[in-house]
Structure 1
Amino acid sequence: IGEVWAEMLFTLAEALIEKHGFESNLFPNDEPSSDFFKQSSKTGERIVPRRGNTLFFQLVLDGIKIQRCRPTFMNARDSIIEADEVLTGGENKCVIWKSFAKRGLGKSASVVGGTPWGGGIRKEDYSVPVGVC
């Protein structure tokens, strides 16, 4: 399971880097720099990593903070999408959906008969919700 999820996250990281560029420093100096951060269009006060790789880490960590216990792939995907909505006002919603859909975790992906320990029948989906992009 971890290998599949890691590939999905790698695809997302690459897409965000393509859109926002790459930052060689994962951590900023003590003082927020305009080169490293930008203001969030949604919250007004929270700063947002400017480059794709650092933004990726922030979105995944923010998503982990809000996802339920024992998340499915779909729960984790939805939490990352929600984290982007909170942090950037949904600026990357299309990129995120396309990245997950590319790996079979599109809008209609599902697991029938799953348990917290695995099992069930997985249904892949490669579509993005209408109106997202």
Structure 2
Amino acid sequence: MQFLHTLPIPLQTVGLLLLSNIFMTFAWYGHLRNLAAAPWYMAAVASWGIALFEYLLQVPANRIGHTLWSVGQLKIVQEVITLSVFVPFAALYLGEPLKWDYLWAGLCLVGAVYFIFRGG
């Protein structure tokens, strides 16, 4: 991952958070498709295994990002990424219908980004 250090901090942070959120989404929701018939504790163990990779990416992402952004800014960036990963996952992987509510939630996050990053 040496090439990562040559990228600007926002790109490093967002890239790692994006990858982290892919693992997180599979850890949280992948069992609904793959392990639906398995006991809940087997799904929990599988999710914990996947979540390890999430944390291996999320922790350095937050450490890198915190050199530039506040914790609040990091959290809002992470929420935008989470929705950006979750919506395609829900529709394409879980077969959930797309709803207008995803758009409205996204617009609310645009507002959150504005307020958390404005200079005031």
TM-score clears 0.5: no
| TM-score of the two chains, using structure 2 as the length reference | 0.32
Larger relative helix fraction: 2
| TM-score of the two chains, using structure 1 as the length reference | 0.30
